[in-house]
Chains A and B, each alone.
Chain A
Amino acid sequence: MEHSTSGGPAWSRLAGFGVLILAALVVAFAVLQSTGPGDNPTVSTADAAPELEVVLDATAEPLADDANDAGDASDDAGSIAAMADGADENAMTNDEPSPKAMESATSEVTDAVMDEVIAEQDAMDDDAGDDDDDAGDDDAMGQDALAAAPDDTENAFAFAPKLAEAPPLLGEVGTLTNLDGWLQSDITSLEELEGQVYVVQFWTFGCFNCKNTLENLRRVYDIYGDEGPDGNGGIEVVGVHAPEFNWEADPDAIADAALDLRVNWPIALDTEKTNFRDWQGSRRFWPRTYVVDQFGQIRFDRIGEGAYERLEATVAWLLEHGPDEVPAT
């Protein structure tokens, strides 16, 4: 008996030390992960189909940069659209942002960013050993650069990830009820989007994982929003803001966060989280992203981060095929 009582604590201490060492290792790896590339909210290369990497990288890289660095990473016309996005951030100093204001800000590329576009183009020309007649002409070069962006957007369907088959029907979309209002929106209900492809995302601005999805959602919105790549109507994105904490519920704080995070799509204020619960049932997560087709059917449902290519592919498929080819039920 004595033997067992004296041996017990020794084993216990040894096991304790073992668990402590393991716990320390886990914490060390967790800290490394949280300060490493895992924090980079750009397209995950692991998530990307190999053949898409070039296209995705070209657009994702500038988005990851600060607006002041927007010109640094541009190598092609595709990235110029992202630079205009950077200018958008520079121009968004208005206290009362709206989608239209942001849109106009996007079109008014600042001189500073244009200078970077020109400098980048000059560098490319020098490298190629090509004496371009327009190289010293800032305005002409700027126009050329901007003109290239829509061409790239028009080819979005060609470059978009492809679905092997039609996206599955996952049920009828719900409605948004008991909202506290809308921010930066011309719509006041999802019913107004009937006949249109749209993305609904439940998020909150304090959620790290939600923020990680925004770069990619913005990218999809930039390419497929407005009139769409083919001019036949684009998508809308609706961010349903369901705050986890009270400090995330203040509309002014949400508007400020939307500016900081460059969320330029309509935001529905689900302050009481009524829709967060109703839509997700017992399976409630931040973030949750849905793609809804022209007939109000959910065609994509994603919990958390990732599957960015599938989201884009679903949007592209629905837009490309149009309501005539998309089954109604």
Chain B
Amino acid sequence: MIDLLIEGAAALRFGCTFALALLGVPLVFLGRKWMATSMVIFWLVSILVGWARFVDLWPGAPVGAGLIPFGVAIIALTGFGWWRPTIWSVSGLAVGLAVIAGWLWVPCVGVHLSEPLNDALAGDRAGTVVPLLAYGIGVCVPLFAAAALAAAVPKFGALVQRDRAAWVGAALSLVLAVSISAGWYSEFVSRFRG
């Protein structure tokens, strides 16, 4: 499990994995005082959606015009979370972003992640959940770290919970929504990670 967790964190160097974590970044700015909760929701839901896909319980991501609803959903949920910040709206945004992240995720599979995924391919659905969640913790380490920093350092917490920070989060959400809808998300990710 520790190997999986570390492999997940190390895989953030690669665009295929970074694409998953990047969708959680708006929550740093829009999560407000529920940032930690939203990060946990993001981790759980995105990995569970990914797991459902990998065990053939969830369809593959659409392409072309089929991606437009993803962008619309992100904009709608972001608008709600930004305009009326409550634990429900922030959690809703976290769930929405996580579902899309897990749906679009195409992993580059290393030595440790390959084992549970191949087990899943062989029919072991349940046995794949925990290893994937461990891998997901590694992938979400920067998000957890941001939430922990906000809790540990009140000044940082206050900084990211300001209205101006919410604007940053909303703008980032908008960029992500447009890039996903237009089919440019991979290109957007590649600006950060090759």
Q: Which residues of A contact B107 (CB under 8 A)?
A: 285-286, 304
A19 to B141, alpha carbons, bound, how many Å?
9
Tally of contact residues, B, Cβ under 8 A: 49
CB < 8 Å neighbour of A247 from B110, B141, B190:
B190
Does chain A have a CB within 8 A of B72? no
Known: A20-B145, A282-B56. A209 touches B187 (CB 8 A): no
Contact with B along A18-30 (1 / 0, CB 8 A): 1110011011011
Segment 105-124 of B: residues with Cβ below 8 Å from A: 106-111, 113-115, 117-118, 120-121
Q: Is the interface of A mostly helix, strand, loop or mixed?
A: helix
CA distance A31 to B138 in the complex (A): 12
Which chain B residues lie closer than 8 Å to A9 at the CB level?
154
Q: Is the pair B110, A20 in contact by a Cβ cutoff of 8 Å? A: no
CB-based contact A245/B148 at 8 Å: no
Whether the pair B114, A303 counts as a contact (CB closer than 8 A) is yes
Answer whether residue B151 sits at the interface, using C-beta atoms and an 8 A cutoff.
Answer: yes
Residues from chain B with a CB closer than 8 A to the CB of A283 are 53-54, 56, 60, 120-121
**Interchain CB contact under 8 A, A30 and B121:** no
Interface-side segment among B3-11, B90-98, B163-171: B3-11
Q: Which of B32-77 contact A (CB under 8 A)?
A: 53-54, 56, 58-60, 63
Q: Report B-chain residues with C-beta under 8 Å of the C-beta of A286.
A: 16, 106-109
Contact of A15 among B56, B111, B114, B148 (CB under 8 A): B148
Q: Considering only CB atoms, which chain B residue lies closest to A210 in the complex?
A: B108
A19 touches which one: B53, B145, B194 (CB < 8 A)? B145
Complex interface residues of chain A between 249 and 305 (CB less than 8 A to chain B): 277, 280-287, 301-305
Q: A23-B144, A30-B9 known; A285 and B106 CB under 8 Å?
A: yes
B138 and A281 contacting across the interface, CB-CB below 8 Å: no
Chain A, residue nearest B13 (CB):
A34
Given A33-B7, A208-B108, A246-B190, A16-B53 contact (CB < 8 Å): no
Q: Across the interface, which residues of B come within 8 angstroms of A17, CB to CB?
A: 148, 152
By a CB distance below 8 angstroms, the chain B residues around A18 are 148
Q: Does A244 contact B (CB under 8 A)?
A: yes
A186 to chain B, nearest CB (A): 30
Q: Which residues of B contact A206 (CB under 8 A)?
A: 15, 194
B residues in contact with A207, CB < 8 Å: 14, 16, 108
Write the residues of chain B forming the contact surface with A, with a CB cutoff of 8 angstroms. Answer: 5-7, 9-10, 12-16, 53-54, 56, 58-60, 63, 106-111, 113-115, 117-118, 120-121, 137-138, 141-142, 144-145, 147-154, 186-187, 189-190, 194
Select the residue from A206, A209, A212, A284 with max chain B CB neighbours within 10 A: A209
> Is the Cβ of B152 less than 8 Å from the Cβ of A282?
no
The contact size tier of chain A is: 35 or more
Contact B16 A33 (CB under 8 A): no
B89 to A: closest C-beta gap in Å: 21
Query: Which of chain B's residues has its CB closest to A281's CB?
Result: B60
A206 to B6, CA, bound (A): 21
- Chain A residues near B114: list those with CB within 8 A: 302-307
How far apart are B39's CB and chain A's nearest CB, in angstroms? 10
> B9 contacts which of A26, A280, A307 (Cβ < 8 Å)?
A26
Contacts A283-B53, A304-B113 supplied; 13 other A-B pairs, CB < 8 Å: A16-B150, A20-B152, A27-B9, A209-B14, A210-B108, A212-B110, A245-B15, A277-B60, A282-B60, A283-B54, A283-B120, A304-B118, A305-B114
Could you tell me the distance in whole angstroms from the C-beta of B53 to the nearest C-beta in chain A?
Answer: 5
11 CB < 8 A contacts A-B = A17-B148, A23-B145, A208-B108, A210-B108, A281-B56, A283-B120, A284-B60, A287-B109, A303-B109, A304-B114, A307-B118
